[in-house]
Amino acid sequence: QVQLVQSGAEVKKPGASVKVSCKASGYTFTGYYMHWVRQAPGQGLEWMGWINPNSGGTNYAQKFQGRVTMTRDTSISTAYMELSRLRSDDTAVYYCARGNSGYDKYYYYYYYMDVWGKGTTVTVSS
Amino acid sequence: QSVLTQPPSVSAAPGQKVTISCSGSSSNIGNNYVSWYQQLPGTAPKLLIYENNKRPSGIPDRFSGSKSGTSATLGITGLQTGDEADYYCGTWDSSLSAGRGYVFGTGTKVTVL
């Protein structure tokens, strides 16, 4: 079955970096974008960006540009999200999610995430 | 501060119907397809609706989606206690000023009375 398995919880100090992994199985890894979404405690969902596992191309949310790096290792069907210069407000659950995207004849885009990992809790505390 | 606005909460008795609105603009909902996600307490989000009104395999037809102009709506009929969750709309935002990217709604908590 299609699944995304994420790495375990992390505790980091302010200013440090964290790297979260997401291992895909049950489908062709390079055939779908991988999105990263985070959710701070008691808050809503926040999109961080995506990586195209086939080309390695990325698209980061403006808010995270300069601090986030998304990479992949196609040999082990794994995507990574690294966030640097951590602050206390980066404390959140980080999800990877398989993305589907395209556009119709009117160039209306469709983007949606159909398979999600269980999430990785990242706590930033001194 | 999401660009997609949803009501914070809606509620109804078991068996009744609820609707959740998602209001955006021409740079997002007005010119792109909308998806909806359900997040049960303590779990990851789950895709409920994609491309405005399509249901993934396994999603009951009690859940429906629609779009008109710059707003979208999720409907849930025959409400069940298991439907108590947070619901989010999402779509692509093509605005250069906002930084092109995917945006989620503010989220709506559904309570079954």
B53-72 pLDDT, tens digit per residue, is: 999 999 999 999 999 999 99
Q: What is the mean pLDDT of residues B88-106?
A: 88
Residue window 51-110, chain B: list those with CB within 8 Å of chain A.
51, 56, 86, 88, 90-92, 94, 98-107
Interface test with A, best of B102, B103, B106, B109 (most A CBs within 10 A): B102
Residue A58: closest CA among chain B residues belongs to which residue? B101
Closest B-chain CA to A117 = B44
Residues from chain B that touch A35, judged by Cβ atoms under 8 A, are 102
Taking alpha carbons only, the member of A11, A9, A13, A8 closest to residue A87 is A13
Residue B22 scores a pLDDT above 70: yes
For A63-106, how does the pLDDT look when each residue is reduced to its tens digit (9 = 90+)? Answer: 999 999 999 999 999 999 999 999 999 999 999 999 998 888 88
> Chain B contacts of A117, Cβ < 8 Å?
44
pLDDT tens for residues A30-70?
Answer: 999 999 999 999 999 999 999 999 999 999 999 999 999 99
Q: How many CB atoms lie within 10 A of CB A110?
A: 19
pLDDT of residue A109: 85
Q: How far is B97 from chain A (nearest CA, A)?
A: 10
Q: What is the pLDDT of residue A10?
A: 98
Q: How far apart are CA A48 and CA A41, in angstroms?
A: 16
pLDDT at B98: 65
User: Does residue B89 surpass a pLDDT of 90?
Assistant: yes
- Cross-chain CB nearest to B107 (options A44, A97, A100): A44
Pairing of strands B46-49, B71-76: unpaired
Q: Is the pLDDT of residue B26 over 70?
A: yes
The average pLDDT across B27-54 equals 96
Query: In the prediction, which pLDDT does B2 show?
Result: 80
Contact by Cβ (8 Å): B33, B100? no
Could you give the C-alpha distances from B77 to B30, B54, B65, B74, in angstroms and in order? Answer: 26, 16, 12, 10
Residue A104: burial class (beta carbons within 10 Å; 0-12, 13-18, 19+): exposed
For residue B100, what pLDDT band results from cuts at 50, 70 and 90?
Answer: confident
Cβ pair A103, A67 in contact under 8 A = no
Query: Which of A44, A47, A118 is closest, CB to CB, to B102?
Result: A47
pLDDT score of B99: 72
On whether any CB of chain A is under 8 Å from the CB of B2, the answer is yes
Confidence of residue B1 (pLDDT cuts 50, 70, 90): low
- Residues from chain B contacting residue A50 (CB–CB below 8 Å): 102
Number of residues in chain B: 113
State how far residue A57 is from chain B, nearest Cα, in angstroms.
Answer: 14
Q: Which of A112, A109, A82, A84 is nearest to A97 (CA)?
A: A112
Q: How far apart are CA A36 and CA A79, in angstroms?
A: 10
Backbone angles phi, psi at A27, to 5 degrees: -155, 170
